[in-house]
Amino acid sequence: MNTHTPRIETLPALTLAGRGATLDAAPADIVPALWSEVAGAFQRPGTVGYGVCLRGDKPGYFAGCDSRDLDPVPAGWRRLQLPAGRYAVFEHRRPVSAIADTVDAVFQRWLPAAGLKSADGELIFFERYGPGFDARRGAGDISLWLPLAT
């Protein structure tokens, strides 16, 4: 599957636990730091990671995992709920360092050509790092989930 042929999925609401920050500085500095802070939660096989891009007064990024995978949620972490709804799901087959290329293709080419609109709200999109993601290589089992307007 490539950027131009997403699958459409309905996602129930999902509560994440992790760390977030506003993107006051360059995302290239902030995002890796957040993932470093939450990396210990991903030691268990099968844990899925989520990188969430948020809008608001200041854009933000949240790195974490399903809150059900943590008991208890570590001190200093917060919860974030991904809204239930319909999502276009794009597989990202390149290293995570190239995820911006997929994001650009989705918003600049696919979304206008599909005649669809992304959902309003705090969530812009999220990255899902599945059980097959290899953090050492920064590749494998990555998808980008775009909430669609109803």
Q: pLDDT digits over 43-101, tens only?
A: 677 789 999 999 987 789 999 998 887 778 888 899 999 999 999 999 998 998 899 99
In the chain, how many domains are there? 1
- 2-41 pLDDT, tens digit per residue, is 455 899 999 999 999 999 998 876 667 788 888 888 887 7
Element (H, E) at 142: strand 142-147
Sequence letter at residue 1: M
In this predicted structure, what is the pLDDT of residue 2? 47
Tokens of 127: 């990255």
Q: Would you say residue 136 lies in a domain?
A: yes
Tokens of 85: 């709804």
Q: Which residue has the tokens 């953090």?
A: 135
Q: Would you say residue 1 lies in a domain?
A: no
Q: Would you say residue 2 lies in a domain?
A: no
Q: Which residue has the tokens 């129930």?
A: 12
Q: Would you say residue 117 lies in a domain?
A: yes
Residue 71 CB contacts under 8 Å (≥ 6 apart), including other chains? none
Domain at 99, CATH number: 3.20.80.10
Q: Is the pLDDT at 119 greater than 70, yes or no?
A: yes
Domain of residue 37: give its range: 7-147
Element (H, E) at 88: strand 85-92
Q: Would you say residue 74 lies in a domain?
A: yes
Q: Bridge-partner residues for 87, per DSSP?
A: 9, 147
